[in-house]
Amino acid sequence: MTHSTGHLMTFGTGAVLLGFALAINPAFAVEEIPYSDVDRYGQSKSGKKKAGKKAGTAKSCPKGSQYSKKRGACVRVRSSCASGQIWSSDAGTCLGRRHAALSDEDLYAAAYDFSQDGQYAEALKVLFQIKNQQQPKVLNSIGYSTRKLGDIDEGIAYYRKALALDPDYTKARQYLGEAYLLKDDVDKAKQQLAEIGDRCGGPCEDYTLLVAAIAAHVTGEETVGW
């Protein structure tokens, strides 16, 4: 799942943020990359991926809508899907949560929406319905909702499972770094920052967001969104 940790920073925090970025790797300048660059499935729309890896092909739709293969367009579903139903991109309609026609992507997208609304328990219920649990993005999302529900250690365990499958999945590294900050372990958070920097091959959103989170933690600012 893709979730914003950005917040307004004072001049002092901005200086600390830049200092962290330069201390980790002089080649990385802090660059603001908006979350609009990430689609609803957590994939970069600008294709900022490690060389040799194909960009995600999932259709990108605005929050509150889903892509309908049947209609060939994004359609609004939040108002049309009743409680206990999930949008099916293949059927082009809302189906019961346990309906066999729901794809893993349908379930993942629904879980994403639940987590964006702060309904983490509901997000977990849907995530555990996904047939192929051995997907980095699924394990990462389970970790995120688990952590938001208060179990930081269990969340970390899921982030590590995601990274065991794909060490280059920098979103999981960003979330793992933030989880370490919640445990007041800045050194481990900075280790994940360095890993993201090495794997991005240049300034990227996950790097920038973790830099901001570390700076906020060190300066004692209130953290928002993570």
**For 83-90, what is the mean pLDDT?**
86
* pLDDT > 60? residue 223: yes
**Who has greater pLDDT, 197 or 43?**
197
The pLDDT of residue 89: 83
140's tokens: 């990462």
Count of Cβ atoms closer than 10 Å to residue 215 Cβ:
22
60's tokens: 């990108």
- Whether the pTM exceeds 0.85: the reply is no
The pLDDT of residue 84: 87
**For 70-82, what is the mean pLDDT?**
65
At 149, the pLDDT band (50, 70, 90 cuts) reads: very high
DSSP state of 46: T
* Winning range, highest mean pLDDT, from 83-87, 95-99, 190-194: 190-194
**For 126-142, what is the mean pLDDT?**
97
At 70, the pLDDT band (50, 70, 90 cuts) reads: low
Question: What does the buried/exposed string (b/e) look like for 131-162 if buried means 16 or more CB atoms within 10 Å of the residue's CB?
Answer: eeeebbbbbbbbbbbbbbeeebeebbebbebb
SS3 label, residue 38: strand
* pLDDT > 90? residue 212: yes
Nearest alpha-carbon partner for 216 in 32, 16, 44 = 16
pLDDT above 90 as % of the chain: 50
The pLDDT of residue 51: 39
Where are any strands of DSSP class E within 21-142?
A: 65-68, 73-76, 85-88, 93-96
**For 192-204, what is the mean pLDDT?**
91
What residue ranges define each of the domains in the chain, with the CATH number in brackets? 11-49+119-219 (1.25.40.10)
4's tokens: 């914003």
**For 165-182, what is the mean pLDDT?**
97
Rounded to an integer, what distance in angstroms lies between the CA atom of residue 57 and that of residue 39? 11
* pLDDT > 70? residue 8: no
* pLDDT > 70? residue 168: yes
SS3 label, residue 66: strand
**For 131-153, what is the mean pLDDT?**
97
Rounded to an integer, what distance in angstroms lies between the CA atom of residue 132 and that of residue 136? 10
